[in-house]
Chains A and B, each alone.
Chain A
Amino acid sequence: MAIATFQILRGDASNTRVESYSIEVSEGMVVLDAVHAIQATQANDLAVRWNCKAGKCGSCSAEINGMPKLMCMTRLSDLPLDKPVLLQPMKAFPLIKDLVTDVSWNFAVKKKIKKFKPRKPDNPDGTWRMAQEDIDRVQEFRKCIECFLCQDVCHVLREHQLHDQFIGPRYLVYTAALEMHPLDVEDRLEDLKKEDGIGYCNITKCCTKVCPEDITITDNAIIPLKERVVDRFYDPLKKLFRIFRFKK
């Protein structure tokens, strides 16, 4: 059986080091299996988050050879095992320990976004009618498993650390899901422009590339939101913005 080596970032915010572990790999193994094997046999106190092991809960986010990914959906057979595999926690958030980071900022951001506010029910029994075509787009956004990989990769948060001025792609998707919800009557455009800092996004599309749920974050969520903001606040500039977009 083949042997693979993993270099895992260990320690807490005050003291980190990279440790090497070698394990036997078997058919079909994913990175999370390797981490569990190391935890069970070589490092009982190795901290890692996981729940579903099937790409459904968004707990096991980490950086594998520098790429933000879900550990449970990354097959070892897709990695070059002739070199050690480097495992690091997400960089955009403060380290707690080993592969676990403090993502509480994300939960705080969500709380600030104005909640769902439906129009009056269509029917006397308190229900509504909605056509499937009208909810397809929002259903795409609601696939989000809150893995925060898009937040991790976005340079506005990762490099510039503008956590207090920009809500990040995850919450732009969240806001888009609310704004485009056929029943919702709340208005979040002013917040988007001001507190949420949608202007910081310069459509690099890095977020879309890492999304494990294949949500087209930029094209389907962020750009339409930007357009709505532009329509409302800077109508004359709208044309320019569009030209810019088509060139890309």
Chain B
Amino acid sequence: MPSYDTHNYDVLVIGAGGAGLRAAIEASAAGVSVGLICKSLLGKAHTVMAEGGIAAALANVDERDNWKVHFADTMRGGQYLNNWRMAELHAKEAPDRVKELEAWGALFDRTKDGLILQRNFGGHKYPRLAHVGDRTGLEMIRTLQDHGIHLGIEVHMECTITSLLMGGDRVTGAFGYEREKGRFKIFKSNAIVLATGGVGRAYKITSNSWEYTGDGMSLAYHAGAELIDMEFLQFHPTGMIWPPSVQGILVTEGVRGEGGILLNKNGERFMFSDIPELYRNQTADNEEEGWRYTQGDRNARRPPELLTRDHVARCIVRQIKEGKGSPHNGVFLDISWIKNKIPHAAEHIKKKLPSMYHQFKKLADIDITVEPMEVGPTTHYMMGGIRVDADTQMSTIPGLFAAGECAAGLHGSNRLGGNSLSDLLVFGKRAGEYAAKFSKENKGGHLNEEEIANAAINALEPFERNEGESPFQIQYDLQEMMQELVGIVRHEEELWRAVEHLKMLHDRAARVKIVGNREYNPGWHTALDLQHLLTVSEAITIAAIERKESRGAHFREDYPQKDEQSGKFNLVIKKNADGEMKLRREPIKEVRTDLQQIIEEMK
């Protein structure tokens, strides 16, 4: 067997976004050796792009806030399919995790009396998002990165894991390549944390980067772990739509939090005409009240623009379908109108939303302080993912942990804005802590040579052919297909067509051709990523077929209502013995009485 560059760690963390970094820091604090791997350079993971803020019931701006309200908001937002224990831990621990960032050097925007400032966001009852203008993710990842580099964590940048290695029924290592030379690397470890983020690259219009090919979910699935809630993919209501080259780039919900409103081509504020029952008591019934809410009036209720993302995205789609959309098939998002309300509005907007100002000015020639933006839904966030234990974040495979966007449970059928960054911190920490513990208690994992040899053969297989298709073309066709057939509005017949397409794409992917050699070759990398994309796309599609109702982010045109029975289970996906994807319904555990009481009280 050829000798590979081999590394040994007590805990291996795959992914260096917020979740991975936080896990690595915690594992390292527990006194074990830690390796950290990422596909890009350190500090470039998706977390860097997060804009609006981190949700935590610090109660700095409104003292009525506390973990119970945050818990209830999260459960309502997820339409009660959430893992309630995760929602409880998340709401309770998020404030400490945010304060800890400050102790590591983060500088959040301040309230007048010098505390961390918090802003309004969709679905959060009180102003709850700690933020730094609209570049909160940058502040968070940089703080974790700069703290982490002094802890002796070994970082392998531009290194991609292509298979997990199993010594029997537990995970014992990972196999991958480094980009620069294309050489293989082996990581031996008794505990592995997956923190690889989401799946947005399966779609044409997305706010996600090239990294988001669902690697962690696919690696875990092929190693035998369970996935859950894969039908719930969040389409963020406001992505850029024009010019074509910027399509999908995110426009933060912070715009609406600061008073931005949605208008159709006739200038109508259409969100007022469709307010769901579950939120009626909490939503303003006139424009004036909505405005007062965004300006911190504690007696006002939120404007309908700040309803949950699933709902806002669907309302936008409906406007477009009814022919009331903007010139480029979106709607208008206007923040400039606040000049009628406050003095120095332009300065205020630039201070509160600097990167949005910059983004539109540079990429679309639009000055958001004087004119409205054109926006439409964009594929944004995966609620589903690797099924984990709420307290330890361990998957159904011993020694394999998952945290952040690639793990599932906290958000149920729809995530509230700001609840991801806090998710990364709360469960990243837990994953790191329990992975370190597991590693200490379960030494002696071994690697299997044959498995390694196979991993190498699989990774090099695309170089074997002299003829075949470009991997970029297949990826492109997959994205078009998923956008078209498994998008925001779904229909059984289309979903079955998607299944057929996926089979064909699978066959095509098995015949890709690679140009060039192994050195920093994006064609090769794309070919390997395709396997993951196809796996998660299949999981999304079959789960979408099985859930015959509309709930949260999953909307079925043929079953437009919520179904009470369907609200009682999650969908779990696992690979069966003959390699097929298998789906089953898993009843939701009854909510603990004290938590149920909180939910009832806050309805």
Interface check B114, CB cutoff 8 A: yes
Asked if B522 and A46 make an inter-chain contact with CB atoms under 8 angstroms apart, the answer reads yes
A54 to B104 CA separation, bound complex (whole angstroms)? 27
Query: Known: A45-B522, A131-B110. Contact between A57 and B48, CB under 8 A?
Result: yes
> Which residue of the partner chain, among B44, B243, B524, contacts A57 with CB atoms under 8 Å?
B44
Asked if A75 and B107 make an inter-chain contact with CB atoms under 8 angstroms apart, the answer reads no
Asked if B44 and A45 make an inter-chain contact with CB atoms under 8 angstroms apart, the answer reads no
Asked if B470 and A116 make an inter-chain contact with CB atoms under 8 angstroms apart, the answer reads no
Asked if B520 and A97 make an inter-chain contact with CB atoms under 8 angstroms apart, the answer reads yes
Asked if A28 and B43 make an inter-chain contact with CB atoms under 8 angstroms apart, the answer reads no
Asked if A30 and B42 make an inter-chain contact with CB atoms under 8 angstroms apart, the answer reads no
Closest A residue, CB atoms, query B104? A116
Query: Known: A118-B103, A139-B107, A139-B132. Contact between A51 and B516, CB under 8 A?
Result: no
B275 to chain A, nearest CB (A): 32
Interface check A107, CB cutoff 8 A: yes
Query: Known: A28-B242, A33-B245. Contact between A40 and B146, CB under 8 A?
Result: no
**Chain B residues touching A, range:** 35 or more
Size of interface on A: residues with Cβ below 8 Å to B:
62
B513 to chain A, nearest CB (A): 9
Asked if A51 and B210 make an inter-chain contact with CB atoms under 8 angstroms apart, the answer reads yes
> Which residue of the partner chain, among A48, A145, A181, contacts B105 with CB atoms under 8 Å?
A181
Q: Which residues of B contact A179 (CB under 8 A)?
A: none
Stretch at the interface among A122-130, A196-204, A231-239: A122-130
Query: Known: A103-B41, A129-B113, A138-B107. Contact between A97 and B519, CB under 8 A?
Result: yes
Interface check A243, CB cutoff 8 A: no
* B197-230 vs A, Cβ < 8 Å mask (1 yes, 0 no): 0000000000001110000000000000000000
Interface check B363, CB cutoff 8 A: yes
Asked if A27 and B99 make an inter-chain contact with CB atoms under 8 angstroms apart, the answer reads no
Asked if A107 and B42 make an inter-chain contact with CB atoms under 8 angstroms apart, the answer reads yes
Asked if B99 and A127 make an inter-chain contact with CB atoms under 8 angstroms apart, the answer reads yes
Asked if A44 and B363 make an inter-chain contact with CB atoms under 8 angstroms apart, the answer reads no
A19 to chain B, nearest CB (A): 13
Q: Which residues of A contact B517 (CB under 8 A)?
A: 45
A49 to B39 CA separation, bound complex (whole angstroms)? 11
Closest B residue, CB atoms, query A59? B44
A51 to B16 CA separation, bound complex (whole angstroms)? 14
Closest A residue, CB atoms, query B211? A51
Query: Known: A44-B522, A54-B359. Contact between A49 and B242, CB under 8 A?
Result: no
Closest A residue, CB atoms, query B134? A56
Asked if A52 and B132 make an inter-chain contact with CB atoms under 8 angstroms apart, the answer reads no
In chain B, positions 20-48 with a C-beta closer than 8 Å to chain A are 40-46, 48
Interface check A135, CB cutoff 8 A: yes
Q: Which residues of B contact A12 (CB under 8 A)?
A: 519
Closest A residue, CB atoms, query B42? A107
Query: Known: A127-B102, A129-B115. Contact between A110 and B515, CB under 8 A?
Result: no
* A101-122 vs B, Cβ < 8 Å mask (1 yes, 0 no): 0111001001100011010010
Asked if A49 and B41 make an inter-chain contact with CB atoms under 8 angstroms apart, the answer reads yes
A107 to B149 CA separation, bound complex (whole angstroms)? 9
Interface check B376, CB cutoff 8 A: no
A49 to B470 CA separation, bound complex (whole angstroms)? 20
Query: Known: A96-B180, A131-B110, A142-B107. Contact between A110 and B146, CB under 8 A?
Result: yes
A244 to B188 CA separation, bound complex (whole angstroms)? 58
Asked if A55 and B44 make an inter-chain contact with CB atoms under 8 angstroms apart, the answer reads no
Closest B residue, CB atoms, query A103? B41
Top 10 A-B pairs ranked by shortest CB distance?
A28-B243, A45-B516, A44-B523, A129-B114, A116-B105, A40-B472, A47-B520, A51-B209, A97-B520, A132-B110
Q: Could you list 30 examples of A-B contacts with CB < 8 Å?
A: A30-B245, A40-B472, A41-B472, A45-B517, A45-B522, A47-B522, A48-B522, A51-B40, A54-B363, A55-B355, A55-B358, A57-B48, A57-B49, A57-B209, A58-B44, A73-B362, A98-B520, A102-B180, A103-B41, A107-B149, A110-B146, A111-B149, A115-B147, A116-B104, A130-B110, A142-B142, A145-B138, A181-B107, A183-B105, A184-B105
